[in-house]
C-alpha cells in the first residue's frame, strides 16, 4: 500500500443505541490483539466514547467533523494516521444520516466504506429492508455491509442473513449479552477509568466478535477497505503565541472533558501544560493562565465546594489579571451555588455570581461558534443544567444550524480576566483565537 493509504471503515447505525460504540471498541480491541496497529476516530463532538476507544486501540482518539474541526483538519488527521496504522476505524455519531454534516457526509467526502450496526433483537425480514435502505439512501456512499447486533440465536442469525439482498454484505451476527454494554449516566457513557473491569469487558466483546467470525471477515476484507488520503494544504501551526506560558489545566473525575487535540494546540502554541486535581485538593500551580474544562462537578459538588484554598487562589489569580477560561462544568464550579437534581444546594467557588441548577432534561445541545477578538472559534454544547446570574453576558455564541440568521446560542460571561461559557471550544479551529483566551487582554496582539 501507499504510505498515505490505509484500510478504513466507518461504523455507523440507523440510530443511537444500536451498539456502535460497543462494536467499534470491541473491533479495535480484537484487531489490536491480532497485532494490528489500530487508530480510531470519533465522528462529531464527543468526550466519552473516546475513553473506551482509546483503551481498546492503545492510541489517542481524535474527533473529526466537516464543520467543527473542518475538512482540512479531518484530512490531515486521517492521512497522518494512515502513515503508521494498519487499520483506521471511524465511529459515527447518532444515525448514519443524522446531523449536518452527518457521518455519511464524512464517509462520502473521503471515500470511506460504511458498515451499519443494527440492533436486530426484534427483527427478521425487516432487517434486510433497513440494511438496503441505508445502503441506497444516499448516492456515492461506499457500502461495506451490515452487522446484526443483539441477535437471539443461531436460527435468528440465519433469518437475518437470508434477508440481506446481497449475501456478501452480511458481515456477521453478535449474540445478545447484557454484560457487553458499557454503563451510562446522564451525559453518556461512564469513562473507562471508572470501571474496574474495563479491560475484561473489552476482552468479552472482542471474544464475541471472534466467535461470530465477524472479526475474521474484516481481516479477510482489509484490502477492499483501503482508502487513499492525498496530502492537503493545511498550514502547520508555527506561531508561538503562548511561548513559555504555563497553563494550569484541571484534570480529574470532575474535570475530564478534555480533547487531546486541544492540548496539542496549546503545546504547539508554545505553552507548557501543568495538570492539577481540584478533587484531590491540589493547590493551583504557579501559572500564567488557567483552563477549567467540562466534566461532572455536580457529582462531586460537596468535595469541590470544600476546597476553600483553591477558591481563594482562583480569586487571587483573577484579581492579578491572569486569564481563566472555564467551559461548561468548569464554569459551573465557579458559580456561588450548585443545586443538584434532588434539590440539594451546595456552595461552590463563588468567582461568578449566581446559581447553576441541574435538571433531568437537556439544557443545550449542538454545534456552535464563538466570535471573540474579531475571530471565530468553533465548538459545541451539551449540558443538563441551567444558570442564573446577575452578571450581564459579554456575548453569545451562534448556533451552527442557524448561524446565517445570527441565532443566539450559549452565553459567555466575562469578569475581569475570567471568561466562562457552556460552550466547549475546539482550539484547532482557530489557534490565534485560542491563544487570546489565555493571554491578558492588554497583552494580546
Question: Looking at the annotation, which residues are catalytic?
Answer: 328
Q: For 66-136, where are the alpha helices, taking DSSP H only?
A: 71-82, 103-110, 126-136
Take residue 193 and report the three cell numbers written for it: 477509568
DSSP characters for 162-211?
A: HT-SSGGGEEEEEE--GGGSPPEETTEEPPGGG-TTHHHHHHHHHHHHHH
Distance CA 257, CA 23 (A): 23
Question: What nine digits make up the cell of 75?
Answer: 484530512
C-alpha cell of 53?
476507544
Tell whether the torsion through CA atoms of 215, 218, 220 and 223 is positive or negative. negative
CA atoms within 13 A on the CB side of 177: 15
What strands lie across the sheet with 289-292, from one edge to the other? 272-276, 246-250, 289-292, 324-327, 418-421, 408-415, 395-399, 364-372, 375-383, 424-425
Maximum alpha-carbon separation in the chain: 71
How far is it, in rounded angstroms, from Cα 385 to Cα 364? 8
Amino acid at each position: 500500500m501507499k504510505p498515505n493509504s490505509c484500510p478504513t471503515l466507518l461504523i455507523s447505525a440507523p440510530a443511537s443505541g444500536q451498539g456502535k460504540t460497543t462494536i467499534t471498541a470491541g473491533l479495535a480491541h480484537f484487531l489490536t490483539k491480532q497485532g494490528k496497529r489500530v487508530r480510531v476516530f470519533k465522528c462529531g463532538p464527543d468526550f466519552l466514547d473516546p475513553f473506551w476507544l482509546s483503551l481498546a486501540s492503545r492510541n489517542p482518539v481524535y474527533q473529526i467533523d466537516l464543520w467543527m474541526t473542518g475538512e482540512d483538519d479531518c484530512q490531515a488527521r486521517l492521512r497522518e494516521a494512515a502513515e503508521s496504522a494498519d487499520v483506521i476505524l471511524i465511529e459515527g455519531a447518532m444515525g448514519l444520516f443524522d446531523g449536518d454534516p452527518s457521518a455519511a457526509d464524512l464517509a462520502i467526502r473521503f471515500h470511506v466504506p460504511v458498515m451499519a450496526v443494527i440492533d436486530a433483537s426484534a427483527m427478521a425480514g425487516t432487517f434486510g429492508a433497513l440494511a438496503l435502505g441505508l445502503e441506497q439512501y444516499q448516492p456515492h456512499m461506499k457500502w461495506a455491509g451490515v452487522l446484526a447486533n443483539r441477535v437471539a440465536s443461531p436460527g435468528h442469525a440465519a433469518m437475518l442473513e437470508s434477508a440481506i439482498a446481497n449475501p456478501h454484505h452480511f458481515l456477521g451476527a453478535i449474540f445478545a449479552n447484557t454484560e457487553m454494554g458499557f454503563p451510562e449516566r446522564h451525559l453518556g457513557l461512564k469513562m473507562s477509568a471508572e470501571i474496574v473491569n474495563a479491560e475484561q469487558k473489552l476482552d468479552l466483546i472482542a471474544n464475541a466478535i471472534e466467535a461470530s467470525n465477524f472479526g475474521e471477515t474484516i481481516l479477510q476484507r482489509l484490502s477492499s477497505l483501503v482508502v487513499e488520503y492525498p496530502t492537503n494544504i493545511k498550514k502547520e501551526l508555527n506561531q508561538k503565541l503562548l511561548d513559555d506560558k504555563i497553563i494550569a489545566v484541571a484534570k480529574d473525575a470532575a474535570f475530564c472533558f478534555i480533547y487531546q487535540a486541544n492540548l496539542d494546540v496549546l503545546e504547539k502554541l508554545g505553552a507548557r501544560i501543568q495538570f492539577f486535581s481540584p478533587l484531590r485538593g491540589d493547590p493551583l500551580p504557579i501559572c500564567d493562565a488557567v483552563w477549567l474544562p467540562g466534566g461532572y462537578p455536580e457529582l462531586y459538588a460537596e468535595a469541590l465546594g470544600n476546597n476553600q484554598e483553591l477558591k481563594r487562589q482562583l480569586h487571587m489569580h483573577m484579581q492579578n489579571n491572569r486569564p481563566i477560561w472555564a467551559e461548561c462544568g468548569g464554569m459551573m464550579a465557579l458559580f456561588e451555588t450548585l443545586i443538584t437534581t434532588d434539590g440539594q444546594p451546595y456552595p461552590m467557588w463563588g468567582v461568578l455570581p449566581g446559581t447553576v441548577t441541574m435538571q433531568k432534561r437537556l439544557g443545550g445541545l449542538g454545534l456552535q461558534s464563538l466570535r471573540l477578538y474579531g475571530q471565530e472559534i468553533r465548538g459545541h454544547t451539551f449540558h443538563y443544567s441551567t444558570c442564573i446570574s446577575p452578571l450581564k453576558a459579554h456575548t453569545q455564541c451562534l448556533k451552527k444550524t442557524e448561524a446565517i440568521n445570527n441565532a443566539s446560542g450559549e452565553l459567555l460571561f466575562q469578569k475581569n480576566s475570567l471568561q466562562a461559557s457552556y460552550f466547549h471550544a475546539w482550539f484547532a479551529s482557530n489557534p490565534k483565537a485560542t491563544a487570546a483566551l489565555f493571554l491578558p487582554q492588554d497583552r494580546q496582539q
